[in-house]
Structure 1
């Protein structure tokens, strides 16, 4: 099979998988009621899981092994400092280790025994076939990713390590869970599931051990084998080094991962067959350290990989955003930046961490990315720019918080405040209760909140949620002081709204918390106003057809209730825009498309679209020449996508068209605009539905942009 055939097969499989993925992503938009069913199912599953912890011992056993495996994966996650993988992608490798590697390994062993016979307890099966099959198939998820992923060429060496480790963690999770369930007799419950009569404890899970889960007898140990994640991570890292330096060191460098794989199989086989394998085989195992040097060699390789990654990143640091005080890219300064933000303003911690990770991803894409990796650079660049702006604004936010805190202290020092109500006393009592708890009890509450959140969100949002949950009782006195502040207690609704804003501002869930908090505050203010002071029933007067007339000043401020949405209030016909007919051109002076109208001050691109002839019948087929969905996909989705990509990648300047204005903005002036307003002359239910589908696709691919549309604009 030649290279072209492999490339065609890969393209077909990947295109089909991406089509299925897009179809699945569209299902919640087409059937919103499925989202509600899914939410109900999640809560029912959570309740059943909690009940199972109390009712069934095997459920508690499963949770214990899951926490141990999660702890091992977390150690790898923290050590791989040059990674670009997200926690979600890493978790997918772990799931593949469970649902792909284990079945494939089992089928392989079943096939071998089906062909040659024998039992799984035979030496040749347990100490030869099993180690070979397990160590090879644990690399299967990484192999699939390298074959089908568009950005596989831009992986860091830490990504290779993390992919192998996560696959090994998933494999070991199910392997150890099976052992715990099967060895649940009186000996297992008394001395531990891995305790033997002659060898003592053989599988070690120690909290203060790096990469726990090693296989070693506790009585007179002479041989061991590290856990599955270490073996697979080491081989995967060797493969990453070979891929990275194959051009410089020729293809002989691929002997490195082959040797590491052989070493892993040797350690695994020697431990499994230590009492039955030939003496010469055990002698070779002793030459390699009998399993005691494997972890040390892996750590040295990981350190080398991280150093090589950051040396490479610094070659392109001029093309990457640098944070305040950074002259070079290095893991120490990145950790200092993240922890500084974590202690100063935890809500922005995930944003800063995402910026640092995506900066590395962009760097490796620039260094090693092939054509496929380059195709996703623009989306990454937009996300990275968004995170960079948020991180840069953090300094201003902290300064603003200091000013507010100083003003609050001044107000409290110069104003006489009446004794507080029980509402504020509740938070004082809450912190008093929290302060009385022991460190163990506080840790249990923190871990409980973290574990609960981890069922629904990723690792870092769950960590932020846990710290937010304990920060409320831990900051009870401060919250009570804010409530006692007379500025916040002018009206009951303001006090309640301020409290809700304070609580929601500490939950790092982005737009969900922000939008939900704003709606909840508005609803609460209206509710309390309605209860506290009924508004008079004033009849509404119909608007004057001749236009608004001046009303005599009654001495009271006039309250107006606008019926227009924000989108309608700033509506401007595209022909009234200050700049019209602005064309983009590339380095060869070729046209890259034009914008019908641009409002630089308000940051809006205006695009006029005509739907005339949409329902025109084709004389041969007797059907419309194009459906509304085909029309909007071409005119709204495809053209806008091309326009944004050209604006950010290929365009080198702007020029006016023959019908455009003489004065036009520069390319740099319009690159920061993030809002499109389409004005369409047609208006039918089918056209509206099709346009919304096309705009939703744009919103998914360009989340930092805003897209809106007006119908019936002539």
Structure 2
């Protein structure tokens, strides 16, 4: 709503939308080219936001401090062409430096991640720089020909749809030098830093001279463009030797191709440990793009899964290749302190924003009060649709795209799409909203009443709970009924009922026959097992793991597993801490495999745990048990598929064992 209102009332908001769409377009180009990335879009967007809220203030404070010490003005040559390029190019690397210092998974970044982090920081910086130019250049030339057109130099800042990395700085009349956009410079230096980190063990620490030289090249090109008519001749000559800025983009693209190639070569070294899609012989970007395209055009419901699989597979691979141990405790303490201050600042900002919005709304309503004392609140929506209807199709599309691009900074693809469509539907339905405000009885139509009642009824039915708890039990009950129905009835002779003297004599009861209990017939909760908390120990009295429950008579090991960890969101990544497949591989496959091997090879006896039963079976009593039943409190399609994969691995390695799992067991 604030976005729509801003576009409606403020011309500068529409100017901001134009520049943001250009910056979003540049960011998407880097995102599509970084084929070996493991960063999510949300994490990349955070680097872009840091380029705005962190790099811009730090750069400004640096320049103010320099001028406060040495005097002078920002338009002086030594400031504009020397200090400013150095400060901007160095501080644009600040978000990446903080991430490398404090992030737990910074050691497992791909080379594309380095480039994306640098590019996103540069995009945020350039967004504010170009937005300031658009806002301030309000003269007749700027309004007529564009904000970047000068009287003598023609157009100096170029934004072209068909250009890779638009936003370059180059005069149109007799161009002799240029400088690429901020994102290219920062991405190039960041990628050089990633290559140095990756190759430092083979080439020693001298390899860090590569990112240092790339940073010097960026500063040189920036300085030469800013001071092209004032700097000494030797500086301009040195800039000519390096290509006058025209070779920088090509150099970055060569480095990016090299980085992507090194990433995929490293992944293929451990491809046997990574999940492969059907038809994959190697892990390479072309095959991944083909898999994505095939999923999109043939089975669109798999498209999101394929995207997630390819990215998470790379993330897992680089974590196995380069990941180090957990960050030091001091880093956790600093991160917690930063998060606390961030939450406080965010809370204050929300309160101030809400107070300002309510105050502005109150003033608007007060100014709209008519002579009879009624506020024309509905007129706002009429005016909103009138304005929307006057827009061209291109302008409406730009607003919807802007809302989508803005929302992608904070949420995923589908929520952002919903936000954009909602932003378009509100002004397009202004007249209907105004009519409903003037006459609320219009909502009391039979159709609306029926829809409202149905929505209320559906909202009160606990579908999720029924699906999780009742679905599995209903399935087991149906299977049990079908088994009983298909069993042939036994041929039991029946006594005829006659009128003889023994007709009132009670019939003798048939003796009950004891049959071995079929473990598949009845469900038994693991806590109802006769023996609970049975721990194995080795010859040194060391613990080798425990069984939650054991049924010796029927030969069953019960294992209770909790999937609550799948719902925990990592505070840094914003994603669940582990995937369902990672959870089942660890909890079902790996632990059970270790438990069986310890039971057969290392264990010398059993003992009870503090929460276990006092009476427990001996090691010889349980060594011949060949059945495991896992009872899991979670139940989702993804969790079922992951559990089946893990159990299949157990069945292949231990063919004489039986493995069964029940979902939704609390």
* TM-score (ref. length: structure 1): 0.56
Identify which of 195, 198, 219 aligns with 1:241. 195
Match of 1:342 in 2: 296
- Is the aligned partner of 1:597 residue 2:572? no
Match of 2:20 in 1: 66
Partner of 1:652: helix, strand, or coil?
A: helix
Write the distance in 1 (CA, Å) between the matches of 2:204 and 2:4.
Answer: 55
Match of 2:633 in 1: 675
- Is the aligned partner of 1:652 residue 2:594? yes
- Is the aligned partner of 1:75 residue 2:29? yes
- Is the aligned partner of 1:107 residue 2:61? yes
Over 3 Å counting, the alpha-carbon distance change for 1:91 and 1:583 in structure 2 is farther
Aligned length: 457
Match of 1:297 in 2: 251
Write the distance in 1 (CA, Å) between the matches of 2:590 and 2:276.
Answer: 21
Match of 1:574 in 2: 526
Check conservation: 1:313, 1:363, Cα contact below 8 A: yes
Write the distance in 1 (CA, Å) between the matches of 2:317 and 2:92.
Answer: 29
Correspondence 1:262-411 to 2 at 5 A: 262-372=216-326
Over 3 Å counting, the alpha-carbon distance change for 1:456 and 1:124 in structure 2 is closer
Write the distance in 2 (CA, Å) between the matches of 1:175 and 1:447.
Answer: 22
Check conservation: 1:603, 1:673, Cα contact below 8 A: no
Check conservation: 1:449, 1:466, Cα contact below 8 A: yes
Check conservation: 1:346, 1:464, Cα contact below 8 A: no
Match of 2:39 in 1: 85
Check conservation: 2:153, 2:171, Cα contact below 8 A: yes
Offset, 1:342: 2.1
Check conservation: 2:556, 2:626, Cα contact below 8 A: no
CA RMSD of aligned residues (A): 4.6
Over 3 Å counting, the alpha-carbon distance change for 1:445 and 1:239 in structure 2 is closer
Match of 1:29 in 2: none
Write the distance in 2 (CA, Å) between the matches of 1:348 and 1:514.
Answer: 29
Offset, 1:205: 1.0
Structure 1 residues 37-71: Cα deviation after superposition (integer angstroms, max 9, x where no partner): xxxxxxxxxx1220221221100011111111111
- Is the aligned partner of 1:225 residue 2:183? no
Match of 1:185 in 2: 139
Q: Which has the larger radius of gyration?
A: 2
Partner of 1:596: helix, strand, or coil?
A: strand
Partner of 1:219: helix, strand, or coil?
A: coil
Check conservation: 1:605, 1:676, Cα contact below 8 A: no
Identify which of 170, 173, 176 aligns with 1:216. 170
Structure 1 residues 256-311: Cα deviation after superposition (integer angstroms, max 9, x where no partner): 00000000000100000001111111011010110000000000000000000000
Structure 1 residues 489-546: Cα deviation after superposition (integer angstroms, max 9, x where no partner): xxxx9xx99xx99xxxxxxxxxxx9999957999xxxxxxxxxxxxxxxxxxxxxxxx
Partner of 2:326: helix, strand, or coil?
A: helix
Partner of 1:366: helix, strand, or coil?
A: helix
Match of 2:477 in 1: none
Over 3 Å counting, the alpha-carbon distance change for 1:598 and 1:298 in structure 2 is farther
Question: Where does the alignment leave 5 or more consecutive residues of structure 1 unmatched?
Answer: 1-46, 376-437, 471-492, 502-512, 523-569, 609-640, 678-704, 710-714
Check conservation: 1:321, 1:359, Cα contact below 8 A: yes
Partner of 1:597: helix, strand, or coil?
A: strand
Write the distance in 1 (CA, Å) between the matches of 2:550 and 2:25.
Answer: 53
Q: Which has the higher contact order (CA 8 A, sep 6+)?
A: 2
Match of 2:127 in 1: 173
Correspondence 1:409-448 to 2 at 5 A: 447=401
Offset, 1:372: 2.4
Match of 1:153 in 2: 107
Write the distance in 2 (CA, Å) between the matches of 1:668 and 1:60.
Answer: 67
Match of 2:79 in 1: 125
Offset, 1:598: 7.6
Offset, 1:355: 1.4
Write the distance in 1 (CA, Å) between the matches of 2:626 and 2:400.
Answer: 50
Structure 1 residues 534-567: Cα deviation after superposition (integer angstroms, max 9, x where no partner): xxxxxxxxxxxxxxxxxxxxxxxxxxxxxxxxxx
Over 3 Å counting, the alpha-carbon distance change for 1:129 and 1:469 in structure 2 is closer
Write the distance in 2 (CA, Å) between the matches of 1:203 and 1:588.
Answer: 75
Over 3 Å counting, the alpha-carbon distance change for 1:288 and 1:372 in structure 2 is same
Check conservation: 1:94, 1:170, Cα contact below 8 A: yes
Write the distance in 2 (CA, Å) between the matches of 1:308 and 1:514.
Answer: 52
- Is the aligned partner of 1:457 residue 2:411? yes
Write the distance in 2 (CA, Å) between the matches of 1:126 and 1:119.
Answer: 9
Write the distance in 1 (CA, Å) between the matches of 2:415 and 2:625.
Answer: 40
Correspondence 1:557-568 to 2 at 5 A: none
Match of 2:579 in 1: none
Match of 1:134 in 2: 88
Partner of 2:546: helix, strand, or coil?
A: strand
Query: Which is worse superposed, 458-467 or 257-266?
Result: 458-467
Structure 1 residues 93-113: Cα deviation after superposition (integer angstroms, max 9, x where no partner): 111111111111111111111
Write the distance in 2 (CA, Å) between the matches of 1:173 and 1:665.
Answer: 69
Check conservation: 2:532, 2:549, Cα contact below 8 A: yes
Check conservation: 1:365, 1:373, Cα contact below 8 A: no
Write the distance in 1 (CA, Å) between the matches of 2:88 and 2:557.
Answer: 57
Write the distance in 1 (CA, Å) between the matches of 2:625 and 2:211.
Answer: 52
Offset, 1:583: 4.8
Offset, 1:456: 6.0
Write the distance in 1 (CA, Å) between the matches of 2:166 and 2:211.
Answer: 24
Write the distance in 1 (CA, Å) between the matches of 2:173 and 2:99.
Answer: 42
Check conservation: 2:557, 2:625, Cα contact below 8 A: no
Write the distance in 2 (CA, Å) between the matches of 1:301 and 1:588.
Answer: 56
Question: Where does the alignment leave 5 or more consecutive residues of structure 2 unmatched?
Answer: 330-391, 425-446, 468-521, 563-581, 600-604, 608-615, 636-661
Offset, 1:574: 3.4
Offset, 1:119: 0.4
